[in-house]
Amino acid sequence: MERDPGSTPNPDPHPGPYQERFPIGCPVQVADSDALAHFKETWEFHHPLQEEQLQFAGLITTINSVGYYHGGDVLYGLRGTGGYTWHEACLRAVGETTEMPMPDKAAKPSRIKPLLAIATFGLTLLWPTLVYAAARNADIVSVAVQVFPCDQGLAAAPTLTVENLEATFAAVPVSLYWSRTKSTWVGRFSAPAGHYLLRALSVHCSGESEQWVAIPGELRHVAITLNKPPHVANIDENMFADAVDGRLPSPASRVEVMRADSVVGEQGRRVATLDGSSYQLGNLSEGPYIVRVTFGNVVVSREVVFPPHVYGFAIEADLTPEDAQVLVQEQESGSGFVDVPNYGTTKASTFRYGRAAVSGWSTDPLLFPSDYNTGTQRLSIAVLRGLEAARNFLATTPE
């Protein structure tokens, strides 16, 4: 949703939950150093003010993103401040001297008083959702949305709406900039880390929605395809909204997700979407899943469990480069050649990888329903040379 760059503040200094006082494009002034220091010292809940943000005291800038936390707290991104997240209590209208009221602590869905927050705002949220949201990085995430339109869709830029799946589909105002290529439209915007539903449509094309987890780090990407109305837009998806996401040790990794309680084993496994050194997979339902990651010759898996009756729950399951290094080193220390039964006169051996585990990830045994055989025999160089000699002999023997 684009906002007028000349937008002005809401005359109500405290509009209430899910109502921003400063729209995107609105000029604002960061509070003075005393007010920022007081907020940093007394605020005990989500998105605490960072020490580095104190250097921006008194800065006059503009709003470039608006988002909402559980319960309706408005969170802002400011141009020229390095991507930090700002509370409304830390901002003023330009030239304003009146101190803004501190958000009501009793109404915060904090780790300490989650039930009070739920009662206050009438949210049917469970404890894991609150813990997950509080643990999410407060960084602003930039994303490029590539829209593939229908036949007539290049004539006009599509419309994109963003909804927060962690806040009962609350609309997220974004400052969107479209550019056109020969075959697609590309829109760019920024939003706080979180779990979203992106919907795109155009004058000539029917809309489609994509679940997307905004993972802090590098520029992220989303692809949306449109169709000619009144055709069905979302094909081969479902109404579930849970998601698993995380960082990977390498962009060349492979990620698969499968139900841990599946009666058909791996037949229902799905391949996650990779985006740089991150992955994600949405449209998952409650219950246990196995996440399997492959990088190089290392295959690891772990279990994640989505709680019941929580819509849009997202689990962060990182496999960091540091974890990968531990796995490789542990596996190397237990790897080696072992003797195997051989009914001939030549002694035979095979190479087997050692076991390794870190941060919930395990190489051996892989968790059910994986049918990956960790006991697969890897032939030694001597055996391979023997097989090569036999093949050459058979190839040169006259019939």
Got the DSSP string for 303-354? EEEEPTT-TT-EEE----HHHHHHHHHHHHHH-EEEE---SSSS--EEEEPP
pLDDT at site 256:
94
Q: What is the CATH number of domain 242-379?
A: 2.60.40.10
What gap in Å lies between CA 67 and CA 193, rounded to an integer? 10
The answer to whether the predicted template modeling score (pTM) of the entire model surpasses 0.85 is: no
Domain layout of the chain by residue ranges: 27-104, 140-225, 242-379
Residue 6 has pLDDT above 50, yes or no: no
Higher pLDDT, 327 or 182: 327
Q: Which residues contact 231 (CB under 8 A, 6 or more apart)?
A: 206
Confidence band of 151 (pLDDT split at 50, 70, 90): confident
What gap in Å lies between CA 356 and CA 105, rounded to an integer? 44
How many CB atoms sit inside 10 A of residue 241's CB? 20
Peptide bond into 15 cis (omega under 30): no
pLDDT (tens digit, 9 = 90+) per residue, 334-376?
A: 888 877 776 666 677 777 778 888 888 988 655 565 555 545 5
- Residue 178, burial from CB neighbour count under 10 angstroms (0-12, 13-18, 19+): middle
pLDDT (tens digit, 9 = 90+) per residue, 168-201?
A: 778 888 878 788 888 888 988 888 888 999 988 8
Structure tokens at 339: 């003797």
pLDDT at site 107:
38
Q: What is the CATH number of domain 140-225?
A: 2.60.40.1110
Q: Which residues contact 47 (CB under 8 A, 6 or more apart)?
A: 69, 75, 85, 87, 138
pLDDT at site 9:
83
Residue 71 has pLDDT above 70, yes or no: no
pLDDT at site 99:
56
